[in-house]
Amino acid sequence: MVFLKVAPMKDVLRFEKKEKLSPHFVGPFEILERIGPITYHLVLPSSFFAVHDIFHVFMLRKYVANPMHLVDFEPLQINKNLSYEEQLVQILAREVELFRNRGIAMVKVLWQNHKVKEATWKRENDMRAQYPELFED
């Protein structure tokens, strides 16, 4: 059994933690066979259909049985390059922050698969560009 490394992405909440504090490995997964001296064939769940099932040893970490290691990866949609994106669900609040005598509109956004207390503040202009359907006022 091994853990599989997933690539962290900036400004993405994963497993209720952001960026550097988020787990970098998911799993554990069973090793089906050893392909060569540095490659392994893993048994992946159906949610990882876009990911090839053969990995270099640098993408794996040995699993030592411990119930604290189990992380639920089911809600994640993992891309071929082992990255993922969170989706914005709702705008919770709006504020205008003053920075050097200039007002910048900020919005508090709720992300998919996260609680209200984990909502983050983002620039309204950036969110309007990415999610115009949520700003139909």
Residues of the chain with pLDDT below 70 are 7-23, 67-77, 84, 113, 137
Question: For residue range 68-91, what is the model confidence (pLDDT) as tens digits?
Answer: 655 555 556 677 777 767 777 888
Q: What fold does the segment set 88-135 form as a domain?
A: OB fold (Dihydrolipoamide Acetyltransferase, E2P) (2.40.50)
* pTM of the shown model: 0.43
- Portions of the chain given CATH number 2.40.50: 88-135
Q: Which residues 6+ apart lie within 8 Å of 98 measured at CB?
A: 104
pLDDT at 106: 92
